[in-house]
Amino acid sequence: MLAWTIRVIALWGAIGTVGYLLLDEWTNGPTFAHIAQDAQPESSSLEGRASQTFRADPSGHYFLTADVNGSSIRFIVDTGATLVSLSANDAEAAGFDLRRLDYSHRSHTANGIARVARVTIRELRIGPAVFRDVDASVREKPGVSLLGMALLSRLQSYEIRDGKLTLWW
C-alpha cells in the first residue's frame, strides 16, 4: 500500500511539474536566453549539391541565422511547424508593417492555439541558398522565430544525425 501511495504522489508531482512548465511556456513564450550565438555552420558541396551543417545546442535544438527580406533573423529549426513563423519583432525587422497585418488566423502550436497573421516572405537566405515567396506567419506573442516545413520541404533534403542538422539544396 505504501509503494502504491508513493507512486501516485510521484505521478501527480510529475504531472504538476509538466503543467507548470507548459503554462509558463504558453504565457511567457519560449525563452532561449541561455544560448549566446548560433554554432558556426559547416558548408560543403558533394556531387553538385551544396549543404550546410549546424550543430545542436546543449538542449538539442538547432538554431540558425537566416537573412529575411534583407534582415538577419535567428530561427530555431522546427520540423513540427507547418510554416515559417516570425515573432512580431522579427517580422517588423523584416519589413512587415505589424499594424496592417490581419491576426484572424489560428495556429495550433505546442503551447496551444495562437492568433497569427499570414504573410509571404519575399526572400529568405540561408548561407548561399536563396528561397523566394516563402509562406509564413507572424505571431502576436514574443519568442523565437521558427523555421518550419514551408521552407524545409523546399530543400533537396535535410538530415538530423549525431547531433547535427544538415541542409542540402
pLDDT tens, residue by residue, 13-52: 445 444 444 444 444 444 443 333 444 555 555 556 789 9
- The CATH code of the domain that includes 158 is 2.40.70.10
**What's the CA angle centered on 91, arms 128 and 41, to 5 degrees?**
30
Distance CA 130, CA 152 (A): 12
Domain assignment present for 29:
no
Residues 6+ apart with CB under 8 A from 122: 69, 132, 133
Residue 97 Ramachandran class (φ > 0 left, ψ -120 to 50 alpha, else beta) = beta
Give tens-digit pLDDT for 56-115.
999 999 999 999 999 999 999 999 999 999 999 999 999 999 999 999 998 887 777 888
Domain assignment present for 138:
yes
Distance CA 77, CA 75 (A): 6
* Grid cell at residue 135: 509562406
Domain count, the chain: 1
Domain assignment present for 45:
no
Average pLDDT of the chain is 81
DSSP β-ladder status, 129-139 and 71-77: unpaired
The pLDDT score that the predictor gives to residue 107 is 85
Domain assignment present for 11:
no
Check if the beta carbon of residue 125 is closer than 8 Å to that of residue 67: yes
Kindly indicate the confidence band of residue 6, based on its pLDDT and cuts at 50, 70 and 90: low
Give tens-digit pLDDT for 108-149.
877 778 889 999 999 999 999 999 999 999 998 788 999 999
Domain assignment present for 10:
no
pTM over 0.85: no
Domain assignment present for 47:
no
The pLDDT score that the predictor gives to residue 4 is 56
DSSP H or E segment with residue 124: strand 112-126
Kindly indicate the confidence band of residue 154, based on its pLDDT and cuts at 50, 70 and 90: very high
Domain containing residue 116: 62-168
* Grid cell at residue 44: 560543403
Domain assignment present for 9:
no
The pLDDT score that the predictor gives to residue 14 is 47
Domain assignment present for 36:
no
